[in-house]
A and B are shown apart, each in its own frame.
Chain A
Amino acid sequence: MSSTITAVEPLSLRQSFTDALIACGKERDDFVLLEADATGATFTGQFTERFSDRHVACGIAEQNMIGMAAGMATTGVTPVATTMAVFVSLRALEQFRTSVCYGNRNVKLVVSHLGIDIGEDGPTAAAIEDLGVLGAIPNLTVLSPSDDVEMHAMVRWMLEHDGPVYLRTGRSPVPRVLPDDYRYVAGHWPTVREGSDVTLVGIGITVHLCVRASELLSREGISAQVIAASCFKPTDEVGFAERATTTKGVVTLEDHNRRGGLGSRVAEILGWNAPMPLESIGLEDRFAESGATGALFEKYGITPENVAERARRVLARQSSTHTSSTS
Chain B
Amino acid sequence: MNATTTAWPTLNRDGVPLPDSLPREVLTRLLARFSAKLRARALVMIKDGGSGHPGGSFSAMDIMVALYFATMRARPTEPDWPERDRFILSKGHACPALYVILAELGYYDSSELDGFRAIGRMLQGHPSTSTPGVECVSGSLGQGFSAALGMAVGLRLAGKNEPRVFCVTGDGELQEGQCWETIMAAGHRRQSNFTVFVDANGLQGDTRIEDTLNLEPLPDKWRAFGWAVREIDGHDLNAILDAIEWAKGVDDAPQVVIARTIKGKGVSYMEDVPKWHGTAPPNDEEMAIALAELGEQERANS
On whether the beta carbons of A72 and B136 are closer than 8 Å, the reply is no
Known: A63-B142, A77-B158, A103-B129. A68 touches B137 (CB 8 A): no
Q: Is A79 an interface residue (CB 8 A)?
A: yes
Q: Within 8 Å CB of A70, what residues of B?
A: 136-137, 143, 146-147, 150
Q: Within 8 Å CB of B149, what residues of A?
A: 64, 67-68, 71
On whether the beta carbons of A69 and B184 are closer than 8 Å, the reply is no
**Complex interface residues of chain B between 27 and 69 (CB less than 8 A to chain A):** none
From B137, B152, B155, B185, contact of A99 by CB (8 A)? B137
A94 to B178, CA, bound (A): 11
Q: Within 8 Å CB of B155, what residues of A?
A: 75
Min Cβ gap A296→B in Å is: 33
On whether the beta carbons of B185 and A68 are closer than 8 Å, the reply is yes
From A74, A75, A99, contact of B146 by CB (8 A)? A99
On whether the beta carbons of B184 and A59 are closer than 8 Å, the reply is yes
Min Cβ gap A12→B in Å is: 29
Known: A68-B147, A79-B150, A95-B146. A74 touches B136 (CB 8 A): yes
On whether the beta carbons of B136 and A77 are closer than 8 Å, the reply is no
Count of chain B residues with Cβ under 8 Å from any Cβ of A? 32
Q: Within 8 Å CB of A73, what residues of B?
A: 150, 154
Number of residue pairs A-B, CB distance < 8 angstroms: 111
Q: Within 8 Å CB of B151, what residues of A?
A: 71-72, 74-75
Q: Which residue of A is nearest B178, CB measured? A: A63
Interface string of A55-96 (1 = CB under 8 A from B): 010110101101111111111110100000000000000110
Q: Which residue of B is nearest A54, CB measured? A: B157
Q: Is B296 an interface residue (CB 8 A)?
A: no
Count of chain A residues with Cβ under 8 Å from any Cβ of B? 29
On whether the beta carbons of A72 and B154 are closer than 8 Å, the reply is yes
Q: Which residue of B is nearest A53, CB measured? A: B157
Specify which of B144, B150, B151, B158 lies most central, judged by the most chain A CB atoms within 10 Å of its CB: B150
On whether the beta carbons of B147 and A99 are closer than 8 Å, the reply is yes
**Other A-B pairs beyond A67-B146, A102-B128, 20, CB < 8 Å:** A59-B184, A61-B181, A63-B146, A64-B146, A64-B185, A67-B149, A68-B153, A68-B185, A69-B150, A70-B136, A71-B150, A72-B151, A72-B154, A73-B154, A77-B154, A79-B154, A94-B143, A95-B146, A99-B144, A104-B129
Q: A-side interface residues toward B, CB under 8 Å?
A: 32, 54, 56, 58-59, 61, 63-64, 66-77, 79, 94-95, 98-99, 102-105
Q: B-side interface residues toward A, CB under 8 Å?
A: 82, 88, 128-129, 135-137, 140, 142-155, 157-158, 160, 177-178, 181-182, 184-185, 188
Top 6 A-B residue pairs of the complex, sorted by shortest distance between their CB atoms: A67-B146, A71-B150, A75-B154, A68-B150, A71-B147, A72-B154
